[in-house]
Amino acid sequence: MRFLLVEDTPDLGQAVLDRLTLDGHGVDWARSLAEAEAHLAVSSYDLILLDIMLPDGDGRDFLAAHRRVPRDTPVIVMTARAGVSDRVALLDTGADDYVTKPFDFAELEARVRAVLRRRGGTAQTQVIYADLVFDPLGGTVAVGGDVRDLRNRELRLLEILMAGPGRIFSKGHLHDRLLSASEAVSDNAIEVYVGRLRKKLSGSAARIETVRGVGYRLTQG
């Protein structure tokens, strides 16, 4: 999917950009409200990630104007304001969701999926590989027409693998994408999630191949 990131803090903006790009999304990064408007004038987006305090104005004013146009692109606000009244005001202004800084990237990704799921059907979400038809918003994968539900980590793992069929993803990379730094997990956690996903893909021409000593990749045949 294609996202517009509106954030003026270099380190945070780059970190969010890198994370979403690794997830397989296309991201345009605007460092001001003027840049954001310039992007919106020529492109359409599946989601906007919006900071509040920007060098040329207040993101809340941008959000209000965004809804008056009207534009129906979902917006997740990234804010340091944690008060209940602040969060309520953002939602009333037109935000679809918010994440409070500093945030864990796993939480941001989960909120992105939740917002897009609620907006289900506004964008093409199916990803097809071999005989797999994957719906990341619906949380399902169909194997030859047989629909199978995915749990959260299975869903996330399949998203990563299907973003780059044939590409080898190291165990460390998958660990960073699937698990937060605060989680206490066993050394074989990734093997467990790979094993569970393999069972969900049973009977498919696509398979998760173990590249010994390197990682995993999605292949077919």
Task: Report the C-alpha gap between 110 and 98 in whole angstroms.
Answer: 11
Buried b (16+ CB within 10 A) or exposed e, 147-179: eeebeebbbbbbbbbbbeeeeebebeebbebbb
Contact (Cβ atoms closer than 8 angstroms) between residue 75 and residue 50: yes
Query: What is the share, in percent, of the chain residues with pLDDT greater than 70?
Result: 93
**Tokens at 141, concatenated:** 């994968």
| Every domain range in the chain assigned CATH 1.10.10.10 | 150-220
Q: Quick one: pLDDT at residue 64?
A: 94
Q: In the chain, at which residue ranges do the beta strands (DSSP E only) sit?
A: 2-6, 26-30, 47-51, 53-54, 57-58, 75-79, 97-100, 127-129, 132-135, 140-143, 146-149, 169-170, 206-211, 215-220
Dump pLDDT digits (tens) for 11-55.
999 999 988 887 768 889 999 999 999 999 888 888 999 999 999
Q: Quick one: pLDDT at residue 83?
A: 80
Q: Quick one: pLDDT at residue 54?
A: 95
CB neighbourhood size of 84 (10 A) = 7
| Residue 178 pLDDT > 60 | yes
Confidence of residue 184 (pLDDT cuts 50, 70, 90): low
| Residue 121 pLDDT > 60 | no
pLDDT, greater one: 166 or 175: 166
Q: Quick one: pLDDT at residue 164?
A: 84
pLDDT, greater one: 99 or 127: 99
Confidence of residue 106 (pLDDT cuts 50, 70, 90): confident
Whether this prediction's pTM lies above 0.85 is answered by no
**Tokens at 114, concatenated:** 């939740």
150-220: CATH topology: Arc Repressor Mutant, subunit A (1.10.10)
CATH of region 2-118: 3.40.50.2300
Confidence of residue 192 (pLDDT cuts 50, 70, 90): very high
Query: What is the DSSP annotation of 48-72?
Result: EEEESEETTEEHHHHHHHHHHTT--
Dump pLDDT digits (tens) for 138-160.
788 999 889 999 887 888 899 88
| Every domain range in the chain assigned CATH 3.40.50.2300 | 2-118
Query: If you search the block for the tokens 């590249």, which residue do you land on?
Result: 211
Task: Report the C-alpha gap between 47 and 72 in whole angstroms.
Answer: 10
Q: Quick one: pLDDT at residue 122?
A: 45
**Tokens at 166, concatenated:** 């044939």
